[in-house]
Structure formats: structure tokens, C-alpha cells
Amino acid sequence: MAKPMSFVVVFSLLALAPLCFSSRNGGFGSLYPQYYDHSCPNAKEIVKSIVAKAFAREARIAASILRLHFHDCFVQGCDASLLLDSSGSIRSEKNSNPNRNSARGFEVIDEIKSALEKECPQTVSCADILALAARDSTVITGGPFWEVPLGRKDSRTASLSGSNNNIPAPNNTFQTILNRFQNQGLDIVDLVALSGGHTIGNSRCTSFRQRLYNQNGNGQPDKTLPQPYAAELRNRCPRSGGDNNLFFLDFVSPTKFDNSYFKNIVGFKGLLNSDQVLLTGNDASAALVKKYADNSEVFFEQFAKSMIKMGNISPLTGSNGEIRKTCRKINN
């Protein structure tokens, strides 16, 4: 079903291209899918092939790469600031609470960058690599295809505080999560659709332990959790220890990009508090959860639109930023 849908998504998004590519601040952005057609015509194919090889080695990597793009765009915009290691005045975003011990896939981005530098030196930005790799990770797991607007430059700075404060946390209230999306120019539809990225990947015990033992600071579990599901989770997520024990975000089809995530939420089996509050925290978001649970094609189409919108958060273009030679450090 994903393949026919992909053509629908591509056609509809290209028809809406001027709207989708416009920048947060109004007017039209300078990102467009054909940006490297002449300067590096094999760029997209190189990214796709390396993502495919990484996925063949480990299916989990697709979700990890998708998450990197999300965590990058919510801090300073989509500028590959997340990829910078600490050096000089740069305090790496990799050490923030949302990323420390959980952000992964950096080696795959390094491999892509190395191949692109051999093909066309200092041409393709790390920020664009993240955007393309996130799309390819979605497609390879069965999700929708979309044309990725390109032409981002890489930042010369990072923001550890921005990473700690801008990225929604698993135990946030619905309103806090929505506020953090709205601060990036995204709306409630984008919030629910992009949360659907949790249809693939894993989460650590430490990210949802409070739901099992102390949801509201009163020593009681989250009342919305079905007891059999909660008991199953407690087996490998004790009150203390086991912080890094992994659990599927979508236990039905954890490596397939589909709408099972939303069906799980409707059945009160969302893993993270930030997943389940999409149903329990707001009527409008609950209606969207049910709509996507009922119709995977509607979800796929909106996910693609919202990914384009997210990928266009405050990009550096033109003379702003640089094309890093390696994604982990700024150019000398």
C-alpha cells in the first residue's frame, strides 16, 4: 500500500510546493528539491544507498536517524548543530538531557558525509544529509516518500541550553509539548502527525518509568495504563536500575512504518506519557489520533507534509552558515 500512496503524496506535495517551501517568517524560502541536481547529481542516491546498508545491518537505525533530524530542527533550526562535537567554545548538544545516552546514528551520517565529500567536495551540507536520511529512513521502513527541499547550510554554533529546553520530553504535559511545537511554527496537526514517527524505534525504561510507579508524584502508576500492559512493562523496567533497557515504542510492528502507533494509543497502550496524552490531553489531538488510527493513507500524507514543514524551520541559506567538511566540527 505504501508504494501507490507515495505517488499520491509526491504529487500533492509538489502541487503545494510554494506553500510547503515558504519559510517560517513568511515569504518564500530558498530550499528546493533540485538544489544539487547540477552541483552533485548523485547526492540523493548516495544518501539512500548508505542508509539502506545501515538499515540492513540494524533495523533500529532508521528510527535513530529520523530522531536526529527532529532533535536537530528543534534547536536553532535545521542546521546540523546537533552533529557538532564539543570543541573550543562549542558545547555539544549531544550532551543534553534529550540526547545523552540515547541519540545515535552519528556514524551513519559520518559515512554519508565522507562519501559525498569524495563525490563532490564541500557541496552537500550536513543539514541536508540529515533531512534526506530521515526521509530515506521513513521510506525504507514502509512509510511515505516526499521530495525533500534542499539548500540548507550548516551552523557554526550549537546550543546545549536550547537542546535541553526546546525538545519535548517524554513526561511533559500535553500543553507543554504543544507549546514547544508552536514555538517552532508547528501546529497541533504537525504535533500528532510527527509523533507518528514513534511507529518505529525504541525507548529506554528511564523515559517512561514514572508512568509505572509515580505518575503524579503520589507513588501511584498512571491510571490510564491497562494493568496487564503495565505489569508486562514492569518486568523489565524496575523502580530502580535498568535505565537503558529498551522497549518498542510500537510493540505491534516495531520496525514497520505504519499506523499501529495510533491504534495502540486508542487502546491506551502508548508507551510514553507524551504518546498517550495525544488521546487523553486534548480533544482536537484525540480526534486526529483516531483519524490516523482509522486511515493510514491520511496519516502518511500528513506526516510527509509535516516533515517538509519541520525541515524548513529557520534554515541557514545563502551566505549564512557553511558547508562543513566533516559534520562533527566547524571548518577552520
* Average confidence score pLDDT of the chain: 92
77 assigned to a ligand binding site? yes
Specify the pLDDT at position 330.
97
Alpha carbons 322 and 332: distance in angstroms, whole number = 11
Backbone angles phi, psi at 254, to 5 degrees: -65, -20
Is position 17 within any domain?
no
CATH number of the domain where residue 281 is located: 1.10.520.10
Is position 207 within any domain?
no
250 assigned to a ligand binding site? yes
Give 307-321 pLDDT, tens digit per residue: 999 999 999 999 999
37 assigned to a ligand binding site? no
Q: What is the total count of domains within the chain?
A: 1
128 assigned to a ligand binding site? no
Is position 1 within any domain?
no
Is position 24 within any domain?
no
Number of alpha carbons in the 13 Å side-chain half-sphere of residue 281: 18
50-74: average pLDDT? 98
User: In this structure, what DSSP letter does residue 204 have?
Assistant: E
181-200: average pLDDT? 98
Backbone angles phi, psi at 90, to 5 degrees: -85, 120
199 assigned to a ligand binding site? yes
Specify the pLDDT at position 59.
96
Give 4-55 pLDDT, tens digit per residue: 444 344 434 443 443 343 333 333 368 999 999 999 999 999 999 999 999 9
192 assigned to a ligand binding site? no
195-220: average pLDDT? 95
Let me know if 236 is exposed, middle or buried by CB neighbors in 10 A (0-12, 13-18, 19+): exposed
| Residue tagged active-site, from 44, 69, 71, 309 | 71
The answer to whether 279 touches 241, Cβ cutoff 8 Å, is: no
Is position 331 within any domain?
no
pTM of the model: 0.90
Is position 325 within any domain?
no
243-270: average pLDDT? 97
Is position 120 within any domain?
yes
Number of alpha carbons in the 13 Å side-chain half-sphere of residue 80: 34
Asked if residue 323 has pLDDT above 70, the reply is yes
- Say whether 69 is catalytic: no
- Other CB atoms within a 10 A radius of the CB of residue 326 amount to 14
Specify the pLDDT at position 8.
42
Is position 88 within any domain?
yes
Give 136-148 pLDDT, tens digit per residue: 999 999 999 999 9
Per the structure block, which three cell numbers stand in for 259? 499506523
* Domain that residue 180 falls in: 42-201+249-312
